[in-house]
Amino acid sequence: MDISYILNELGEDRENYFQAIAPPIMQTSNFRVEKVSELKKLFDDEYSGYLYSRGLNPTVDILRKKLAVLDGAEDCLVFNSGAAAIFAAILANLRSGDHVVSVEKPYTWAQRMFDVVLPRFGVTTTYVDGTDIGNFERAVLPNTRVIYLESPNSWDYKLQDLVAVAELARSENITTIIDNSYCTPLYQQPFALGIDLVMQTATKYIGGHSDTLGGILTGSRAMIKRIFDSEYLNIGSGIQPFNAWLLIRGLRTLPARLDRITQTTRSVIAFLKGHPLVESVLFPLDETFPQYELAKTQMRGACGLLSFIMKAQKMEEIVRFCESLRHIMMAVSWGGHESLILPRCASFGPGDFDPADPGHRMLRLYVGLEEADYLIRDLAQAFDAT
């Protein structure tokens, strides 16, 4: 299906709302029925229609339809945040006593769930270096139910060979879940490669304007309905209609924003690689990246998020660089219109910094929608000030 059709028309029954171009925000908690039999049907299966907005809502449905097709999946649920989507995906596929194999250093709140929440229910997790399929093979136990992936990782961009992991999981009857936030469905389609359940935060590129949170799960109709019937309704973490509306608006410009950011990022990377204070740049589609060949086979693109290792003897030099930036802001998150910097050493206490460890000198840069030259001038003056 044409991406232009998906983003501009699919799911939008404009004759139902006065031919308005922008869909209405159905800001309602509940829906009226005329017949008791209709109520019965909805009580039996809330996925069959509109009863209460903790379940289905028409504005959210427009978004769900677009996102499912974008991902090449059968169905989709949208949550109030990416973290909620991760939680529901994991919870729906585990029972007490089960085992998870996860890539090492997954997104903070995925890791927190594996380390803090799941052990309370007897679920254990083994972390593996996902760059080698052999590590997954060795970690799988008889009670392994889920393999959790994040490819690329959003700090060091390490990839997993998705086809190989999917094959292994299929043969062992294990469900695979991936965090696909870095690529979005435009740049990586994990279903086509055999992954079962795809999560992404909509807070980043899908929203694109740093004004709403959201989280997406796409998968088979059976898997998504199962999650709807239990975790989605029970946790009550579905997205609100207004936030869904903002995400529909974000989707309209997604390809244009990603194209623009891809171009700008190329210029910024070229500048960084040529700067004497930069030791190296980490970016999955850069030819110096250790998994560049794999990245080219399973990703169609990569755009604004990269890391670089700064040359520094003291943490103060990195602090001075970050605090000298005039336009690039220091903040968590990424995927919006605004460029951002995040130094890894921000979580260090005094005395933790070891200049011999390149990981300690890592900074994550998100390239937004500004002009390349504007960003490069800002980076250059901040390097000069350190």
Ligand X SMILES: *Cc1c(COP(=O)(O)O)cnc(C)c1O
Indicate whether 181 belongs to the interface with ligand X (CB under 6 A). yes
The encoded tokens of residue 6 equal 């998906």
Distances (CA, A) of 61 to 53, 65, 72, 243, 367: 11, 6, 17, 12, 31
Indicate whether 203 belongs to the interface with ligand X (CB under 6 A). yes
User: Among residues 42 and 151, whose Cβ is nearest to ligand X?
Assistant: 151
Least distance (Å) between residue 84 CB and ligand X: 7
CB under 6 A: which stretch of 65-73, 140-148, 199-207, 336-344 binds ligand X?
199-207
- Considering only residues 153 to 172 of the shown chain, the ones binding ligand X according to CB under 6 A are 154
Instruction: Please tell me the distance from the alpha carbon of residue 211 to that of residue 35, in angstroms, as a whole number.
Output: 40
CB under 6 A: which stretch of 4-12, 80-88, 116-124, 322-330 binds ligand X?
80-88
CA atoms within 13 A on the CB side of 26: 20
User: Among residues 128 and 149, whose Cβ is nearest to ligand X?
Assistant: 149
One symbol per residue from 85 to 124: x for binding ligand X (CB under 6 A), - otherwise; what is it?
----------------------x-----------------
Indicate whether 57 belongs to the interface with ligand X (CB under 6 A). no
| CB 362, CB 309: distance < 8 Å | yes
| CB 93, CB 146: distance < 8 Å | yes
E strand map for the chain: 75-79, 99-103, 124-128, 144-150, 175-179, 197-201, 215-219, 278-282, 305-310, 329-330, 340-343, 362-366
Instruction: Please tell me the distance from the alpha carbon of residue 236 to that of residue 246, in angstroms, as a whole number.
Output: 20
User: Among residues 145 and 364, whose Cβ is nearest to ligand X?
Assistant: 364
- Considering only residues 346 to 365 of the shown chain, the ones binding ligand X according to CB under 6 A are none
- Considering only residues 265 to 294 of the shown chain, the ones binding ligand X according to CB under 6 A are none
Indicate whether 185 belongs to the interface with ligand X (CB under 6 A). no
Sites of contact with ligand X (CB under 6 A): 81-83, 107, 154, 179, 181, 201, 203-204, 213, 215
